[in-house]
Amino acid sequence: MASKQSTRPSGKSVPRKRTSPIQKILLKIRPAWVSRVGHDMARGMDIRVDFEQQLQRFFDLLEQSVTTGDPAWMDSILMDWAKSSTETELEEEPYHVSFLINRMIALTIQVASESLTKQQALDLLAAVIPIYTYGLEVVARYEMETRVAHISNEMDKVQQQMKRVDKSKSAFISVAAHELKTPITLIEGYASMMEDLMRAGKGVSLDSLLAGMTTGIDRLRAIVDDMIDVSMIDNALLKLNYQPMQISQMVEALRLEARDILQRRKLTIEIHDFEGSKQWLYVDPARMMQAIRNVINNAIKYTPDGGTITIDGRTKQAFIEVTISDTGIGISNDNQTVIFEKFGQLGRVDLHSSGKTKFKGGGPGLGLPIARGILEAHGGSIWVESEGYDEKNCPGSRFHILIPARAESPDAEMTKLFSSLESRTEKKNGQENSSNYNPAS
């Protein structure tokens, strides 16, 4: 009896391809193999569905490689898997695809021993092991190249960061030396003048000279305090004394503190009443005021005379967001994260000025890093938005300060103390209101 023929549209008949014994074996173990590998290696139901699709594709190409004797059929899926490695996998599991193939070999042996006769299992392994070995060679080579490239890239990043830190540290030393030298020179000058007057025996009042020395000492103390604060923040030694405080109170106190500077520079500070500004929060008032003060001082420094600084805010889930906007020279995109780093943004040292209230005045460049450290110690954060740096058009900057709306102090005793004081105050106010009540009115 004649064998069955398949006919092409042209009318020519072609013999139907016969299924080889190894193809029959592959067809037999396919469902069990896909199920075993999928359940053994996938990490979740959502991943398993996609992974099983990948396994079906892998098995198709494995069968094609066995049938043709050309393992290169596996290249496409092997390279897809190798290229899908994430940054985390490169750092923690640099050879996870190689592990995957090794595990497939072990599971293939298990499925073959359970589903096939001894001879069929030997025939299967003799056909697929060379394909698996080829796949391991391809993947291992690619993963090694990818790993080396990743490490080289990370080393380049670290090297660039070290260069920037070294450059910034050198600038910081120069600026800090200048900042420290100025008050020391001031103190030395006033002390010398006082010595000359005392030697001359003149009965001249020394009040103005003593005031000058006090100014120099205060300035010196402020610089040293900033350096100590940075060290405490770096070493996680910053301790917070939580007390109830309103943002409106802190902002108003800072406005009064800067009144003389604002008048001298003809700057206007606008404080908006916003939701959450009068809410009682548990923060370290001194440290929180220091952080907000540093941001306001930054706005003063980089806003030309006659400009405006605006303080506004809003509630944002479990936080209160305070925004400090200015009409200053702005911040370039490259520096919008750098300014919060130690030694990050100091400007040109040769143009440095020690006048903290002058336009583009100086300082050791630690104000914003300290502000970030204080806010992060509270569980908050700070970032800045700006269209860029332009001294002519002055696009301005907007700093966002995120403060946790903490209704209780982490210290239970402190919460109990202030709750007791609050209840007494409310009781006293209620008694006063009752005594002032006039039924005839």
Give strand pairing partners of 314.
321
d(CA 53, CA 63): 16
Q: Comparing C-alpha atoms, which of 112, 162, 10, 133 is closest to residue 65? A: 133
For every residue of 270-314, DSSP letters joined together read EE---TTTTSEEEE-HHHHHHHHHHHHHHHHHTS-TT-EEEEEEE
- C-alpha neighbours within 13 Å on the C-beta side of residue 96: 16
Q: What residue ranges in 159-225 does DSSP mark as E strands?
A: none
The more confidently predicted of residues 364 and 357 is: 364
Mean pLDDT comparison of 182-186, 336-340, 359-363, highest-scoring range: 336-340
Phi, psi torsion values for 308, nearest 5 degrees: -130, 140
Give the per-residue pLDDT at 170.
72
**Please, are residues 190 and 216 in contact by the beta-carbon 8 Å criterion?**
yes
Place of tokens 């391991």: 136
**pLDDT for 352:** 52
pTM above 0.75, yes or no: no
| 8 A C-beta contact, residue 123 and residue 63 | no
Please compute Rg for the chain using Cα positions: 37
Cα–Cα distance measured from residue 358 to residue 361, given in angstroms and rounded to the nearest whole number:
5
Lowest average pLDDT, out of 92-101, 111-120, 351-360, goes to: 351-360
Summarize the confidence of residues 375-382 as an average pLDDT.
95
Q: What pLDDT does residue 323 have?
A: 97
Q: Would you tell me how many other CB atoms lie within 10 Å of the CB of residue 393?
A: 10
When pLDDT is averaged across residues 356-360 and rounded to a whole number, the result is 68
Point out the least confidently predicted range of 193-202, 216-225, 250-259, 292-301.
Answer: 193-202
Q: Is the pLDDT of residue 380 over 50?
A: yes
Q: Given its phi and psi angles, is residue 317 left (phi above 0), alpha (psi -120 to 50 degrees) or beta? A: left
Q: How far apart are CA 343 and CA 390, in angstroms?
A: 22
What pLDDT, on a 0 to 100 scale, did the predictor assign at position 148?
83
Rounded to whole angstroms, how far apart are CA atoms 336 and 350?
23
Q: Secondary structure of 323-351 in the HEC alphabet?
A: EEEECCCCCCHHHCCHHHCCCCCCCCHHH
| 382 vs 187, residue with greater confidence | 382
- Sequence-distant (6+) residues with CB within 8 A of 373 are 229, 230, 233, 238
Out of 6-15, 142-151, 171-180, 366-375, least confident range: 6-15
Q: What pLDDT shows up at residue 353? A: 53
Which H helix or E strand runs over 25? helix 21-41
Give the span between the Cα atoms of 339 and 325, in whole angstroms.
Answer: 16
Alpha-carbon gap, residue 275 to 18, rounded angstroms: 79
pLDDT tens digit sequence for 226-267: 888 888 888 888 999 999 999 999 999 999 999 999 999 999
What is the mean pLDDT of the segment spanning 112-129? Answer: 90
Residue whose entry in the numeric block shows the structure tokens 């940054």: 87
Alpha carbon of 262 to those of 109, 289, 309, 382, 400: distances in Å? 81, 18, 10, 24, 22
**In 10 A of CB 29, how many CB atoms?**
20
Mean local confidence (pLDDT), 70-88? 78
- Return the closest-CA partner of residue 394 out of 336, 334, 330: 330
Give the contacts of 435 (CB within 8 A, at least 6 positions apart): none
Q: What are phi and psi of 401, to 5 degrees?
A: -115, 120
Q: Express each pLDDT in 391-424 by its tens digit.
A: 999 999 999 999 999 988 877 776 666 666 556 5
Is residue 100 within 8 Å of 25, Cβ to Cβ? Answer: no
CA 184, chain centre distance (Å) = 39
